Amino acid sequence: MQIATRVIRIGTAGWAIPRAVADCFGQSGSALQRYAGRFVAAEINSTFYRPHRPDTYARWRDAVPEGFRFAVKLRRTVTHEKRLVEAGSELAAFCKEVGDLGEKLGPLLVQLPPSFAFDEGVAARFFGELREHTDGPAACEPRNASWFTPEAALVLAEHRIARVAADPAKVPEAALPGGWPGLRYHRLHGSPRMYYSSYDPEMLARVATALTQSDAAETWCIFDNTTSGAAAANALALAELVRAIR
């Protein structure tokens, strides 16, 4: 959905269609094609664990309409094993790999482990190297309190990296978007039980307000509470709320 030149993208991690909301989607086509009939975005998390073949990306790319975009999660070898240090070859390979999504490629998602404290030198070198491989949108989800400082925000902004607004938030500042203001990226993992809990109408209303008040060129909201099947229902409900506000 689009507000003037500002785009709001609502979707889920993956594109599973739970039985409880199956009637809200078309009945023909693959799961991704049916999903893309209702949403304009999805987050690919499987890239965190393993690479995919070029023909897999091509199949996903060709299954969705022109305006659809995939966010893609960076490989854990870069973020969790090498912890952003001397990961140039892995980063280059990853950016080349996801390039097979073509014009359907959306933000790269850099999720950091909770133990990963902010180090200005490490962060600046890594995000500078990232920008050598791609000038596309990117978002970082830090999960250590040391990242929620003006110094960290400046490093992210200088490299055009959005800071994810996450729920549940590790610290109060983590609930708010930060970093580069050209992209806003919300990740809702389920609360109080991560990956399971569904969001109540009051929380969805607050998120809808935040999305529609964003002045970023693109504002994303991805539901990651997929284990219980709540993500698709929450995303559908949020999309209706946003339409009503507009």
pLDDT tens track, the chain, 246 positions = 444 459 999 999 999 999 999 999 999 999 999 999 999 999 999 999 999 999 999 999 999 999 999 999 999 999 999 999 999 999 999 999 999 999 999 999 999 999 999 999 999 999 999 999 999 999 999 999 999 999 999 999 999 999 999 999 989 999 999 999 999 999 999 999 999 999 999 999 999 999 999 999 999 999 999 999 999 999 999 999 999 998
pTM: 0.96
Nearest to 95 by CA among 123, 45, 135: 135
Environment class of residue 89 by beta-carbon count within 10 Å: exposed (0-12), middle (13-18) or buried (19+)?
Answer: exposed
Measured in degrees and rounded to the nearest 5, phi and psi for residue 138 equal -150, 150
Q: What is the pLDDT of residue 246?
A: 84
- State which H helix or E strand residue 9 sits in: strand 6-13
Q: Name the CATH code of domain 2-245 (choices 1.10.10.10, 3.40.50.12780, 3.40.50.460, 3.20.20.410).
A: 3.20.20.410
- State which H helix or E strand residue 12 sits in: strand 6-13
Q: What is the pLDDT of residue 5?
A: 57
Structural contact between residues 189 and 167, judged by C-beta atoms closer than 8 angstroms: yes
The 8-class DSSP code of residue 139 comes to E
